[in-house]
Amino acid sequence: MLQTIVHYFLHFIAIGAIAYWYDKEHWKLNWLILLATMLVDADHIFATPLFDPNRCGIGFHPLHSEAAIMVYILGVAFVRHKIFRLIFIGLLFHMLTDFIDCLWMFSHCEECYFSSEIYKWFNVSG
């Protein structure tokens, strides 16, 4: 229950703080832009099953993949257009939120960790 509250707090409320920090004058518009980055979860519709409480989405869904995350990092680092940069910040914060959720899940489901893409990323042989 607490995990779910924290997850959705980060996805919907914490982004308000990011929006305010990013530009105090336009924080409401920025919050809506950050909220729109939640559309990155549209890639979940390609998963079978659609929802699995023991699946870490990081690395599993296409827009949550290692390559996608690298694009989001590069976007934050190099894109100077204010709105596009905010979108990349929102996408990256979304991945961080989902990663925190995965870590929380792994703390009580060892098999979830060993079957995750995150495990594969850190345990590449040779």
CB-based contact 51:59 (threshold 8 Å): no
Which pLDDT score is estimated for 124? 74
Please give the backbone phi and psi of residue 125, each rounded to the nearest 5 degrees, phi first: -85, 145
The boundaries of the domain holding residue 63 are 2-122
Q: What's the predicted TM-score (pTM) here?
A: 0.93
Which pLDDT score is estimated for 125? 61
Question: How many domains is the chain partitioned into structurally?
Answer: 1
Which pLDDT score is estimated for 41? 95
Distances in Å between the Cα of 50 and the Cα atoms of 14, 42, 74, 110, 117 are 26, 11, 29, 22, 17
Which pLDDT score is estimated for 126? 47
Q: Which residue has the tokens 């099953």?
A: 49
Tens of pLDDT along 50-79? 888 899 999 999 999 999 999 999 999 999
Structure tokens at 46: 């390609």
CB-based contact 49:57 (threshold 8 Å): no
- Segments in the chain below pLDDT 70: 125-126
